[in-house]
Amino acid sequence: MTISAPREVTTPHRKIPTEIPQGIAPTEFFNSPCNLRHLARENGLLRSPEGFLLYRKAIGHSNLFDTSIIFDTSQKVLDPMGRPVRRDHLSREENIVFSRMTKVVFDYMMEKYPDPEKHLIFCGEASLDATWPLNKPGVPSIRMIHNHFIAYEKSHLAASPLASEDNPNLTDSGHNGLFLNYLSDVYLSFLEVLDLEILKPISPAKSKLAITGYPQGLPSWEVTGGLASLNRGKFWHEYDMILRGFLDFYKALFALVASEDNRIPADAAFPDRIEDILLFSDQFHRAARMLRLQVLEDPTFANEIRWKPAYKQLLYRDDEGRLIVTISQNSVGNAITELLGIVVKRIADEAAYAQVEEPLVNNLIELRNRMVYFNLGVPIATPSWPHGRFVPPQQPER
């Protein structure tokens, strides 16, 4: 019998040839225009006219299928703090393209890995407000709006060792416990009143993965109509509504924590519901008080607080084959996989990565061709696929 618990998956990768200059934090370097230009040249698959970049994750979460789409504004917006980091920062036209690209990738994953008993497939965004300092712990290595697409063999997950229960990426360093233990009911109540037709609320207990027991205590919605619903603009509108509802909740909570401010945020999407459900909730005020007291007394805890909205939003296929949407706070920087109870241990292992690189790249090239067919961008040639075919990297002479 398989134990239901978080897993630690080891993922080999090739050593990245780029050296980080002395005196600069890794996240500051990764977000530099120079490094992002290098990323596109070495791992880029496709670029859309709007600037969306599909690329191979060089240090990924899974070597079965792993790719990402970012809104690469790095060459025209040189200030890393000024780049779009959330979907609500996109124009209507950019949002449509981003949603269409997401739909095409997810459709490819469903086609490639059709059996929910054999494969876990998911995509998700993890983003920060643009005021979060680059050199703080947990800042994404690429500070631009992005969507990450991953697939795992469930047999591989089941065979992986159990992750430590106190892993900070699983616990959110105590923040997750706050949401689970003190805010779960009001959080669920606030998001349940959204006016949704395609997304149907589903009990968090029913949307857990059997292998990991995650997600835990998060609001979840089933996509009625399944994959076909992703072809409707209505689905993506509702997907954005969930994000806007989360942002309202986050801003209202941390305004209370920061300055005991009961005012409704000026840019709130659902101002009436903030007052009706949140500001009149004793539970909501109790949790804010607990956070406030801890911030006042514990400088380490205070240093980890993200005062501006930080979130993870996922679309995944559960054990029953249903498509599920969920959203969580992102307090420390835990990755998309960890929201589903998967901790990734990355190791530099040239030989191990060489064994899986060709099928991984071939899948990504096949996906890239499909996106070109649907008029979502133009191909990018790299040293690993110069003419649309995989070419093993040259080994250095000994």
Per-residue pLDDT tens over the stretch 23-32: 887 778 888 8
The domain tally of the chain equals 1
Residue 336: strand, helix, or coil: helix
Say if 16 falls within a structural domain. yes
Confidence of residue 318 (pLDDT cuts 50, 70, 90): very high
pLDDT score of 334: 57
Say if 391 falls within a structural domain. no
Q: Sign of the CA dihedral 247, 250, 253, 259?
A: negative
What's the CA gap between 388 and 369, in Å, rounded?
A: 9
User: Residue 293 pLDDT > 80, yes or no?
Assistant: yes
Lowest-confidence pick of 98-112, 129-143, 257-271: 129-143
What's the CA gap between 340 and 6, in Å, rounded?
A: 8
User: Residue 361 pLDDT > 50, yes or no?
Assistant: yes
Max mean pLDDT among 42-51, 198-207, 304-313, 333-342 falls in 42-51
Give the chain's mean pLDDT: 88
Between 48 and 300, residue with greater pLDDT? 48
User: How does DSSP classify residue 20?
Assistant: P
Say if 257 falls within a structural domain. yes
Between 79 and 364, residue with greater pLDDT? 364
Between 46 and 145, residue with greater pLDDT? 46
- Average pLDDT on 150-156 reads 97
Residue 57: which domain range? 7-379
What's the CA gap between 47 and 368, in Å, rounded?
A: 10
- Average pLDDT on 138-155 reads 85
User: Residue 96 pLDDT > 80, yes or no?
Assistant: yes
- Please give the backbone phi and psi of residue 219, each rounded to the nearest 5 degrees, phi first: -60, 135
pLDDT score of 195: 87
pLDDT score of 194: 87
- Average pLDDT on 194-206 reads 91
Sheet strand arrangement including 65-71: 199-202, 220-223, 323-329, 310-317, 119-128, 146-153, 65-71, 52-56, 44-47, 378-379
* 149, two tokens: 């697409």
* Beta carbons within 10 angstroms of residue 16's beta carbon: 12
Say if 393 falls within a structural domain. no
Q: Across-strand partners of 313?
A: 125, 327
User: Residue 175 pLDDT > 60, yes or no?
Assistant: no
Say if 386 falls within a structural domain. no
- Average pLDDT on 363-367 reads 97
Q: Across-strand partners of 8?
A: 343
pLDDT score of 173: 43
Query: What is the percent of the chain with per-residue pLDDT over 90, rounded to a whole number?
Result: 61
* 44, two tokens: 């880029």
pLDDT score of 136: 64
- Average pLDDT on 198-226 reads 91
User: Residue 172 pLDDT > 70, yes or no?
Assistant: no
- Distances, alpha carbon 173 to alpha carbons 165, 303, 314, in Å: 12, 12, 21
User: Residue 233 pLDDT > 80, yes or no?
Assistant: yes
- Average pLDDT on 334-345 reads 85
Between 185 and 128, residue with greater pLDDT? 185
Q: Which residues contact 298 (CB under 8 A, 6 or more apart)?
A: none
Say if 14 falls within a structural domain. yes
Between 70 and 182, residue with greater pLDDT? 70
Say if 397 falls within a structural domain. no
- Average pLDDT on 300-307 reads 78
Say if 387 falls within a structural domain. no
Q: Which residues contact 378 (CB under 8 A, 6 or more apart)?
A: 46, 47, 372
